[in-house]
Structure 1
Amino acid sequence: MLEIEELTTTYGPVRAVDRVSISVEPGAITAVLGANGAGKSTLLRTISGLVRARSGRIMMSGTDITRMPAELTVRRGLALVPEGGGVITELTVAENLRLGALWRGDRADRARALREVCELFPPLASRLARPASTLSGGERQMLAIGRALMSRPRLLLLDEPSLGLAPMITARIMQVLRDLRASTGLTVLLVEQNARSALSIADTGMVLALGQVVMAAPAGTLLTDETLRHAYLGF
């Protein structure tokens, strides 16, 4: 689904992503872990086309998307939920959700997608007509994920979905990701500082430090190897 080769992204003289190579299989959940400033968010923004790579290559389902604008990567089946969600608070919940499928021409499918999101996140179903500004932090994160799902992505990029949320809400979001993978074959690249939560649903994990991959292993290995956990994951 996703093949990244020697990807480098810079901000001036700073290499935020430094020669990163990863491979993500279709239907897999891959956790990207690391401390603040490790390059995790820049990696997702580069994959999605919001930030231009300095060098390297990004392949999605055999297509080179390295220089593809963000609006075209969405049409290729990629969706990004940025850190903080990016909900438009002046719009209603329903309007935010419809934005995610605005480019899709099939109105009937857009309506189905809206029903499916409401089934995944029941708190949104009773708040469709309310401004997004009235939602709690957890509900806004559900809305951001739901909006991304409205585009019917094959590859979902999530940047810190548990940030600032109560453990119960975080567990609910992680369960939704697990269920989506099982029911639709959705591929997920999940950036998280909550390593334990991310690895609990992931197939594989990789650790970034100073823009470089310092460890990549099955999620179970990262969870159970005490030396790795203390050195890179903080628990």
Structure 2
Amino acid sequence: MLEIAGLTAHYGLVRALSDVTLKVEEGSITAILGANGAGKTTLLRVVSGLVRPSSGRITAFGEDVTALSTDRIARFGIAHVPEGGGVIPELTVEENLRLGALWRKDKADRGAALAEVLELFPPLVPRRAKAAGTLSGGERQMLAIGRGLMGRPRMLLLDEPSLGLAPLVAAKIMAVLRDLRAATGLTVLLVEQNARSALSISDHGFVLGLGAVVASDDADTLLADDQLRHAYLGF
């Protein structure tokens, strides 16, 4: 579903990604792991068109999307939920959700998508007319993911969905992602600082170190590799 080949990206003179090559299988959850500054967020930003690569190629669904604009990538079926969620606090929960499907022409399907998201995240139901700024951290993250799902993407890019959340809330978010993939076949590319939590729901993982891929394997193998965990994953 997603293939990245020889991807290099810079912020000015600073190289954030160096010759990254990886593949994400359709219907999988793939974890991108590594320490702070490893290039995880930059990778998602390049895939979604927010950062232009210096070199390399990105292929999604069999099409070259390397040079596409962010809005065209979203319409192509890739939704990006950034670190911190980025909800608009002055708008209501429902208004935030509807923004995620604003570009879709099928109004009836927009309503169906809204109902599905609210069913997926029950805590949002009694808050749908409340300003997003009144939500708890966990509810905001649910809202951000729900907004990403409103466009019915084929692939969801998630950046640190458990950041700043209580362990129990973070576990619930991860459980929703696992169940969503099982129910719909949605492909998820998951960036997470909490490597153990991410690998517990993932099929495959890539470990970044200083912008380069330093390890790649199925999730269980990465979890069992003590030397790799201590060196790059922090547990």
**Both proteins in one fold, TM over 0.5:** yes
Provide the residue aligned with 1:173 in structure 2: 173
The CA deviation at 1:143 is 0.3
Aligned to 2:140: 140
AA at the equivalent of 2:127: R
Alpha-carbon deviations, 1:68-117, whole Å to 9, x = none? 00000011100000000000001000000000000001111111110111
Question: Which residue of structure 1 lines up, in the alignment, with residue 97 of structure 2?
Answer: 97
Aligned to 1:153: 153
Structure 1 residue 42 displacement after superposition:
0.5
Give 1:183 deviation, angstroms.
Answer: 1.0
Corresponding position of 1:66: 66
How much is the aligned-residue C-alpha RMSD, in angstroms?
Answer: 0.6
> How far apart in 2 are the matches of 1:82 and 1:51?
13
> Which amino acid is the alignment partner of residue 160 of structure 1?
E
TM-score by length of 1: 0.99
Give unpaired runs (5+ residues) of structure 1: none
- Output the CA distance in 2 between the equivalents of 1:27 and 1:233: 25
Deviation at 1:29, TM superposition (A): 0.4
**Which residue of the partner structure matches residue 5 of structure 1?**
5
1:164 Cα deviation (Å)?
0.2
Deviation at 1:227, TM superposition (A): 1.4
In the TM superposition, 1:21-36 aligns within 5 A as 21-36=21-36
Aligned to 2:80: 80
**SS of residue matched to 1:32:** strand
Shift of 1:13: 1.4
Percent identity reads 70
What amino acid does structure 2 have at the position aligned with 1:54?
S
- What is the one-letter code of the residue matched to 2:166? A
One-letter code aligned to 1:78: I
How far is the alpha carbon of 1:232 from its aligned partner? 1.3
- The equivalent residue for 1:50 is 50
Counterpart code for 2:26: P
Report the TM-score, using the length of structure 2 for normalisation.
Answer: 0.99
In the alignment, structure 2 segments of 5+ residues that lack a partner are: none
SS in structure 2 opposite 1:8?
strand
In the TM superposition, residue 14 of structure 1 has moved relative to its aligned partner by: 1.1
Residue 138 of structure 1 deviates from its aligned partner by 0.6
2:118 and 2:224 map into 1 onto residues whose CA distance is: 36
C-alpha distance in 2, partners of 1:151/1:105?
A: 11
CA drift of 1:168 comes to 1.0
1:216 aligns to what?
Answer: 216
Q: Deviations over 1:19-43 (max 9, x none)?
A: 1000000001000001111100000
Q: Which runs of 4+ in 1 moved over 4 A?
A: none
Q: How does 1:120-131 map to 2 (within 5 A)?
A: 120-131=120-131
**Distance in 1 of aligned mates of 2:100 and 2:12:** 32
**AA at the equivalent of 1:87:** V
Q: Note the C-alpha offset of 1:226.
A: 1.2
